[in-house]
Amino acid sequence: MLYRKFPQCPHDLSILGFGCMRLPPAEGEQAGGKIDEPRAIEMIRTAIDAGVNYIDTAYPYHNGESEVVVGKALGDGYRDRVFLATKLPSWLVASREDMDRYLNEQLEKLGTDHIDFYLLHGLGAETWENLKKLGVLEFLDSARADGRIRYAAFSFHDQFSVFKEIVDAYPWTFAQIQYNYMDEENQAGTQGLKYAAERGLGIVVMEPLRGGLLSGDVPAIHQHLIDAPVRRTPSEWGLRWVWNHPEVTVVLSGMSAMEQVEENLTIAEQGVANSLPPAELAVVEKMRDAFASRVKIPCTGCRYCMPCPNAVDIPSCFMYYNQAYTFEAKEKAAGVYTWALSGAFTDGIPGYASCCLECGECEEKCPQHLPIREHMRDVSEYFGR
């Protein structure tokens, strides 16, 4: 296993982190539901035995069960061999007291007296403003001082301008961002990666394969793989591209099968920064262009159309619809669409395309002049909600 450091943390961290959002489901369960505990524990411990020492979970994963199973996996001395990360459920916090209550509950579920890396989960403009108002920075100071957490960090899903503000607001140890060769310009993107690194923050990357979409069998990219100067699987191309960035410390993989653990461990042996020559980077460029040509709706995700008076998450509806077509992954995209826009992470109000009442307010604000109402009908029909 290869290791890198956060600039503000002296510890060696495995470049491959085990993300615990997609643990193997129990028999008869769908992904994200009840966990097959024996398999999950075996997978996590196998990764640790191979040198993985960054384990990442969160309060809502697997309907709250992930932290419990991770706690069990880290029994028998495994807790002392890893750096454990979990996250404050930002969207559920309504008071300063809630912050301590959630953290203490998480410590109990994980069976530990401290969290090594405690993240504010999924920050965006609204959650960040709410948490600041409620005193989250004082909470982090307090939890660090009393030893319940060792280092503070945040995960992020919004625009660069918001990311920049958050980076500058607190002495974070790292930022966790979505980053892959299809998301260089989305959310924090490469600009955010560079900005955080320049200010001494480490980077943990989530969704390096877009939730598995970049590892799929898509005919549109086959020729580029055949013509490549070296033979690699789509997963290997995607992971190696992220590890090629020296600013990145840890790349998270949400592994749901032992075969994925074994494959990722093998790929990680070659995950050296700046190790891909121009000819190999050109292969990734061709794969990116091939995928980009398949996008159905040219939405840039600027969010000028938001907020929707009917709570429709317009950019996310378009994003999941595009993912389904781009990567030939309707079932996978539909599952994430249903889960992510259910309202569980906001105020309980769903944001599905079917909630659109076609008022047209969004079209007046869209700088791309997209026929949003027409597209909403397409998305609703495609996903069935």
Q: Any idea where the domains of the chain sit in the sequence?
A: 3-286, 314-383
Mean pLDDT of 201-206: 97
- Determine what percent of the chain falls in helix, strand and coil, rounding each to the nearest 5: 45, 15, 40
- Range of lowest pLDDT (322-326, 354-358, 376-380): 322-326
User: Crossing angle, helix 96-110 and helix 136-145, to 10 degrees?
Assistant: 40
Mean pLDDT of 14-33: 87
* Structural contact between residues 160 and 189, judged by C-beta atoms closer than 8 angstroms: yes
Cis amide bond preceding 307, omega within 30: yes
Mean pLDDT of 68-74: 98
Confidence bin at 70 (pLDDT 50/70/90): very high
CA 36 from chain centre, in angstroms, equals: 22
pLDDT of res. 312: 95
Q: Which residues, in sequence order, are CB contacts of 133 under 8 Å at separation 6+? A: none
Structure tokens that stand for 86 in this block: 């979990």
Residue-wise pLDDT tens digits, 241-274: 999 999 999 999 999 999 999 999 999 999 999 9
pLDDT of res. 298: 84
Q: Is the pLDDT of residue 107 over 70?
A: yes
Residue-wise pLDDT tens digits, 287-319: 898 888 888 898 877 777 988 999 999 999 999
pLDDT of res. 346: 63
pLDDT of res. 345: 66
Q: How far is CA 28 from CA 35, 61, 68, in A?
A: 11, 18, 20
Q: How far is CA 302 from CA 161, 189, 292, 299, in A?
A: 11, 13, 17, 8
What is the longest distance spanned by two Cα atoms in the chain? Answer: 59
- State how far the Cα of 15 lies from the Cα of 53, in Å rounded to an integer: 9
Q: For Cα atoms 122, 127, 131, give the angle at the middle one, nearest 5 degrees.
A: 110
- Range of lowest pLDDT (44-48, 198-202, 334-338, 340-344): 340-344
Closest CA to 63 of 36, 39, 34, 38: 34
Tokens 């090594």 -> residue: 116
253 three-class SS: strand
- State how far the Cα of 369 lies from the Cα of 331, in Å rounded to an integer: 29
In the chain, where do the E strands start and end?
3-4, 13-14, 16-19, 54-56, 83-88, 115-123, 149-156, 174-178, 202-206, 248-253
Mean pLDDT of 19-39: 86
- State how far the Cα of 367 lies from the Cα of 279, in Å rounded to an integer: 37
Q: What DSSP state is assigned to residue 215?
A: G
Torsion sign (Cα): 345, 348, 350, 351: negative
Residue-wise pLDDT tens digits, 336-364: 899 889 886 666 789 999 999 999 999 99
Q: Is the pLDDT of residue 367 over 80?
A: no
Q: What burial class does residue 95 get, using C-beta atoms within 10 Å of its C-beta: 0-12 exposed, 13-18 middle, 19+ buried?
A: exposed
Closest CA to 296 of 195, 383, 202: 383
- Class of 3-286 in CATH: alpha beta
Structure tokens that stand for 230 in this block: 């070296």
Residue-wise pLDDT tens digits, 169-192: 999 999 999 999 999 988 899 999
Q: Which residues, in sequence order, are CB contacts of 296 under 8 Å at separation 6+? A: 321, 322, 325, 326
Mean pLDDT of 106-128: 96
Mean pLDDT of 136-153: 98
pLDDT of res. 309: 93
pLDDT of res. 31: 67
- State how far the Cα of 209 lies from the Cα of 187, in Å rounded to an integer: 16
Q: Output the pTM of the full model.
A: 0.86
Average pLDDT, the chain: 93
Structure tokens that stand for 235 in this block: 């997963």
